[in-house]
Amino acid sequence: MKRAVYAGSFDPVTNGHLWMIERGYELFDEMIVAIGINPDKRATFNVEERVEMLREVTQHLPDLKVTSFENQFLVNYARSVDAHYILRGIRNPSDYEFERTMRYINSDLVREVTTIFLMPPRSIAEVSSTMIKGLIGPEGWEEVLKQYVPEPVRRRFLDMGNRV
């Protein structure tokens, strides 16, 4: 069985994340989407809300697992769930440099886990959770958000208003 982990903060989940999840779901026998909890980051949504959003936007993918982990290296988490693959997205040259370095460190720590890189389509390649949060507030943000996040995520932001 080919099991993979796709991890991130998903604060919030974007169309780019969804594209990665759907491609991973096609490529692997089993996909685990894992929210990595970083205590140094100030999150807009708590872990339970992020899990709920991920499950809502991926309900069309039966058997997809959504979970979270904390205080461990991603590669060790992958090994703990018996995943032999880590799925990572490359949006730009700085992502490549960072992910290349992490791939080598991960293979030093756990040889049997392989990192697989995917590049999203140009239309969503530069979308990040940080960019999404930066769009909230100015006039018209509610419509702008439509092209970058799944509708359930946009609704969450609408419910929050401009408090982000």
Residue 107 belongs to a domain with what CATH number? 3.40.50.620
For residue 118, list its beta bridge partners.
89
Q: What is the pLDDT along the chain (164 residues), one digit of tens a residue?
A: 999 999 999 999 999 999 999 999 999 999 999 999 988 888 999 999 999 999 999 999 999 999 999 999 999 999 999 999 999 999 999 999 999 999 999 999 999 999 999 999 998 888 889 899 999 989 999 999 999 999 999 999 998 864 54
Containing structural domain, residue 11: 3-160
- Look at residues 112, 32, 25, 101 and name the one whose alpha carbon lies nearest to residue 76: 112
Number of domains comprising the chain: 1
List beta partners, residue 116: 87
Identify whether the C-beta of residue 36 lies closer than 8 Å to the C-beta of residue 69.
yes
85 membership: H or E segment, kind and range: strand 85-89
